[in-house]
Amino acid sequence: MANLIIDSGNTAIKMFVFDGGKIVKNMRCNQISEMLPALEKNKVLNNITKCIISSVSYDQNLMAKILLPYFKVIPYSKSLTLPIINKYKTPETLGSDRIAAVVGAAHKYPKRNVLVIDSGTAITYDIVTDRGEYLGGNISMGLNTRFKALHNFTERLPLLQCDKSENSLFGTNTTEAMTIGIQNGMLYEIETTIEKFRSKFDSLLVIFTGGDSIFFEDKIKNCNFAEPYLVAFGLNEILECNA
């Protein structure tokens, strides 16, 4: 029987059905009321035996209440058992997406030093060692957040969006200058961060995940893999560990 993984972020509710450790179905909703219809439409509701919910946008207990008549539901909490050693000094402030991403990395690449770069609303850098120890990481503004911030905190600069085709070194008008400045600035940040971590951790693997992972995968020379669903894999491992 299958597991249901629900990862509700700032933009959407993402649902993944796992069977035998593999994703067999993934769905996307915009509201809680769409969850059950999506499961029914995809004919997976009766195959699920247990579920884990990680949400930063909706009440996890409310989401669980809707699903509990159908299968066992575990809302993510800091008290859950983890399959890695968490050495973060303030685990109560640690986001479930960050810990799930490093759990997924440790599961997929055991006994390796792995730097997980998760790029979405925020961009996070998290390190898990070859001993299965999560040490911590960094948090910075994501790509679209930088565009919004530059617009919101200035009087005359427009609100722009990412242009994946732009590869110039500098701009010749304000639109280009903003786009290139933000995108290249973030690329330089990522490349420098990777270099610093590589100097400290031997044979470091660099894994990209999150909504902007594809954008950076072919632009960062030091990237090893892009794993768009790394958080879902990590949540599935946490669910199995607490089932």
Of 7, 97, 118, 126, the catalytic one is 97
Residue type, 174: T
Domain CATH number, residue 179: 3.30.420.40
Identify whether 12 is part of a domain. yes
Which residue, among 13, 109, 4, has the nearest Cα to 49 in the 3D structure? 4
Residue 160 CA to residue 87 CA, distance in Å, equals 39
* Residue 40, domain extent: 2-76
Question: Do 94 and 69 have their domain in common?
Answer: no
Count up the domains in the chain and report the number. Answer: 2
Question: Do 113 and 190 have their domain in common?
Answer: yes
pLDDT tens for the 243 residues of the chain, in order: 899 999 998 778 999 999 999 999 999 999 999 999 999 999 999 999 999 999 988 889 999 999 999 999 999 999 999 999 999 999 999 999 999 999 999 999 999 999 999 988 899 999 999 999 999 999 999 999 999 999 999 989 999 988 888 889 999 999 999 999 999 999 999 999 999 999 999 999 999 998 777 677 677 776 677 888 999 999 999 999 998
Question: Do 139 and 208 have their domain in common?
Answer: yes
Question: Do 18 and 138 have their domain in common?
Answer: no
* Residue 97 known to be catalytic: yes
- Asked whether 171 and 179 are in contact (CB, 8 A), the reply is yes
Residue 146 CA to residue 186 CA, distance in Å, equals 9
pTM for this entry? 0.90
Q: What is the pLDDT of residue 11?
A: 76
The three-state secondary structure class of 165 is: coil
DSSP output for 96-153: HHHHHHHHHHHHHSTTS-EEEEEESSEEEEEEE-TTSEEEEEEEEE-HHHHHHHHHHT
